[in-house]
Amino acid sequence: MQWLCAAVFALFSFIYIYVFQGELLALTQDYLSRGVTNSNAFLAAIIITALLMLLQWGVNRLSKLHGRWEAVSYLPSCTLLALLTDVNTDTMLYSLSKWLWAVPVCVLLYILLVWVNRNVSDINKKSYFGVLWPNLLTFNILFVLTAQFSNSASTSHMELAAWHYVHDDKYEDVLSIGRRSDDSNAALTSLRNLAMAKTDQLGDLLFHYPQLYGSDGLIYNKYSRQTQRYGAQEFYEHLGATAYGGESGRAFVERMYHKTDSAIYRDLYLAALLLDKDLYTFVREVSPMAQAEAHLPVHYQEALLLYNDHHPDAPVTFTADTTIVNRFSDYQTLQREHADDAIVAKLSCQATKQHTLSNRSSRLSMLLSSTSAKTKS
Tens-digit pLDDT profile for residues 47-67: 999 999 999 999 888 888 887
Q: Is 88 helix (H, G, I), strand (E, B) or coil?
A: strand
Residue 193 has pLDDT above 60, yes or no: yes
Per-residue model confidence (pLDDT) at position 373 = 42
Which residues is 253 bridged to in the sheet? none
Residue 226 has pLDDT above 60, yes or no: no
Taking residues 254-269, report their average pLDDT: 94
Taking residues 188-214, report their average pLDDT: 94
CB 277 within 8 Å of CB 371 = yes
CB 296 within 8 Å of CB 202 = no
> Position 268: which residue type?
L
> Position 340: which residue type?
D
Taking residues 292-317, report their average pLDDT: 88
- Residue 339's pLDDT band (cuts 50, 70, 90): low
Bigger pLDDT: 372 vs 105:
105
Per-residue model confidence (pLDDT) at position 362 = 44
Bigger pLDDT: 127 vs 109:
109
Residue 32 has pLDDT above 50, yes or no: yes
> What is the pTM for the complete model shown?
0.71
Q: Where are the alpha helices (DSSP H) in 33-127?
A: 41-63, 75-84, 96-119
Of 114-128, 244-258, 279-293, 313-327, where does mean pLDDT reach its minimum?
114-128
Taking residues 8-31, report their average pLDDT: 85
Per-residue model confidence (pLDDT) at position 118 = 76
Residues 75-105: tens digit of each pLDDT:
999 999 998 888 776 666 677 777 888 888 8
As a whole number, the mean pLDDT across the chain is 81
Residue 358 has pLDDT above 60, yes or no: no
CB 7 within 8 Å of CB 134 = no
- Give the residue from 345, 370, 332 showing the smallest Cα distance to 214: 370
Residue 229's contacts (CB-CB under 8 Å, 6 or more residues apart) are 26, 27, 30, 31, 35, 163
Residue 269 has pLDDT above 90, yes or no: yes
Per-residue model confidence (pLDDT) at position 117 = 77
In whole angstroms, give the CA distance from residue 372 to residue 310: 8
- Residue 258's pLDDT band (cuts 50, 70, 90): very high
Residue 279 has pLDDT above 70, yes or no: yes
Taking residues 298-320, report their average pLDDT: 90
Residue 191 has pLDDT above 90, yes or no: yes
140 — phi, psi (to 5°)?
-60, -45
Residue 131 has pLDDT above 90, yes or no: no
Residue 337 has pLDDT above 60, yes or no: yes
Residue 253 has pLDDT above 90, yes or no: yes
Residue 334 has pLDDT above 90, yes or no: no
Per-residue model confidence (pLDDT) at position 64 = 84
Per-residue b/e over 263-293, b at no fewer than 16 CB within 10 Å?
A: ebbbbbbbbbbbbbbbbeebbebbeebbeee
Per-residue model confidence (pLDDT) at position 196 = 96
Per-residue model confidence (pLDDT) at position 93 = 67
